[in-house]
Amino acid sequence: MTHSEISHHRMVSQKLFNTEKCSPQEIVHHLGAMQAQDYAMAKWAIGSRCDASEKEIEEAVNSAQIIRTHILRPTWHFVSAEDIYWMLDVSGPQVQKMTLSAAKKYGYDLKKLEQTNSKIEKLLAGNNHLTRDDIMKELDIKKSSKEDFLATAIMMHAELEGLVCNGKMKGKQITYALLEERVQKPKTKLTKEDGLAKLALRYFESHGPATLLDFSWWSGFSPTICKNTINAIELQLNIIEIENQAYYFVNQLSDEKLFRESVHFLPAFDEILIAYKTREASILLEHQNKAFTNNGIFKPIILENGKVIGTWKRTIKKDHAKIETEFFNETESSKKEILFDGLKAFENYLETKIVIE
């Protein structure tokens, strides 16, 4: 296998080839955790891997089949309801260290955060879904740029403690609700070692072939911890070496018949790029600064046969969605027409007409 072939296998493992019908929650469960700070785009990350519309995915989030919370690296992720508790047990404590450090800058130590959690629990009890502004108002924390960072730290702490998660959307506003009122807590817990093993297997099954450093980046755990975890489950992993670099995956490599000519208009922060430490398998080094910045801002991408060939953006209008594209290289008009066929899935997902400019 060569680097250029890795992207094809990753597309199959990430379910970008729809070989079987999956629900939105099954897609999230398969991928383990999907980065989701850009909520609109994150929904399309699910939609691009199944036949569900945006409304159906929104309903899966509102009904808590899919949970949106802070987990793994300190950012928003989608996690399936059946995975939320064990994954919080595994990754919550390490992300919590960063949250506690941020809160201390505003005079909130662990004791004060626990007191704040008690107040939040009372506010949300009885399936009460409130926006962050609503909660901060009740906590008498004023709305300003400085306090905004404090509010973020407070709510992240509550999420990582397993107290709160996303509630139902209130118009276009995100709300919080009590996690245990949305998803029943399991009676048993995994050990840290078992949880790490489960996380690693899920990653290499849904994102492989991938390296140790890729798993370390995605999970937020140190290379040393990740190496020990891989060693513990090595009998359940397959391995290939490319240029003295080990790539791990679960199950046999995908049938070559699954690889076909394909175009995908993928969202910003999609797992096909964000889930890996190095991204040369999917995008040339010379084009990377056009698709994502050094400070971690990722643009929506156009993927042709597993390779990023450009970027795109959408603007939602009253009766249609406007799509603008920017290709890395000069593209013939005839080829553009073929490429734009890849937008049909997005049109079905939005359930509205698409106009390309």
Q: Rounded distance, CA 279 to CA 289, Å?
A: 12
Which pLDDT does position 357 carry in this prediction?
81
Which pLDDT does position 340 carry in this prediction?
84
Closest CA to 305 of 274, 269, 338: 338
**Per-residue model confidence as pLDDT tens digits over 241-294:** 988 899 999 976 555 666 667 899 999 999 999 999 999 999 999 999 999 998
Give the residue extent of every domain in the chain: 1-19+190-356, 20-181
Which pLDDT does position 338 carry in this prediction?
79
Which pLDDT does position 337 carry in this prediction?
80
Helix (H) or strand (E) holding 231: helix 223-232
Low-confidence residues in the chain, pLDDT < 70: 19, 145-147, 252-260, 332-333
Contact 36, 276 (CB under 8 A): no
β-pairing verdict for 66-71 and 263-266 = unpaired
Q: Rounded distance, CA 7 to CA 29, Å?
A: 21
Which pLDDT does position 259 carry in this prediction?
65
Q: Rounded distance, CA 95 to CA 159, Å?
A: 11
**Per-residue model confidence as pLDDT tens digits over 197-246:** 999 999 999 999 999 999 999 999 999 999 999 999 999 999 999 888 99
| Per-residue burial over 116-134, b = 16 or more CB atoms within 10 Å of its CB, e = otherwise | bbeebeebbeeeebbebeb
Helix (H) or strand (E) holding 326: strand 320-327
β-pairing verdict for 301-304 and 263-266 = antiparallel
Residue 75: burial class (beta carbons within 10 Å; 0-12, 13-18, 19+): middle
